[in-house]
Amino acid sequence: MIAIIDYDIGNIAAVTNMLRRIGVRCQVTSRVDDVEQAERIILPGNGSFDACMKNLRASGLIPVLEHRVLDQKVPLLGICVGAQMLGYESAEGMEPGLGWLDMRVRRFPDQPGLRVPHMGWNQVVPMSEGNYLTQDMDAETRFYFVHSYYMEPADPSAILLRSTYGIEFASGVSSGNIAGVQFHPEKSHRFGKQLLAAFAKGN
């Protein structure tokens, strides 16, 4: 069972629908007991970094998430702001992140001819050979993005996927059992189905 963490940030239904469409058992939950029983965890995110972090703290779920993810090594996938929250901080706000990955979040620089936010379909390039999330990706793999900020891991080996929007940026990160993607797999049709199915299946 995959637990999709509900901390009142919206946009969870699309993730649930995509997982159910590919036959994956999942549960939207804000209950500690459910997180304790989950085989895998998805941390979605929508809106501003500070609002998401404040809501997650108010939910009371951070201690059980830290125990399951950091101590028991349960696989976790962060999506969009949920991925950014895995780092220490974001240029978008003042709230500290979870700090599970050595990573900061930066704002896209102003670039002639490119609007911020970065919105729409974009190609991703796998950077880590052998990772179960990317092993079936091909050169034409594209995902749907909506973001003004991007992840910047301190260790380049934590970059799972790269994309380009004026500059190259990490569109996916991974370290051990923790992974995060900047794009929205739940809005990315067959490519999103493939990635979520890989996460559900695991190594």
Q: Give catalytic residues, as residue numbers.
A: 80, 184, 186
Intra-chain end-to-end CA distance of the chain, in Å: 16
Query: Using CA atoms, how far apart are residues 178 and 191, in angstroms rounded to an integer?
Result: 20
Query: Using CA atoms, how far apart are residues 106 and 93, in angstroms rounded to an integer?
Result: 11
Query: Using CA atoms, how far apart are residues 199 and 203, in angstroms rounded to an integer?
Result: 8
Q: 96 with 86: CB under 8 angstroms?
A: no
Q: 134 with 75: CB under 8 angstroms?
A: no
Question: Where are any strands of DSSP class E within the chain?
Answer: 2-5, 26-29, 40-43, 76-79, 89-90, 103-107, 118-123, 125-126, 142-147, 149-153, 159-165, 167-175, 178-181
Where does 3-131 have alpha helices with state H?
12-21, 32-37, 49-59, 62-66, 81-84
Q: Any bridge partners for residue 187, and if so which?
A: none
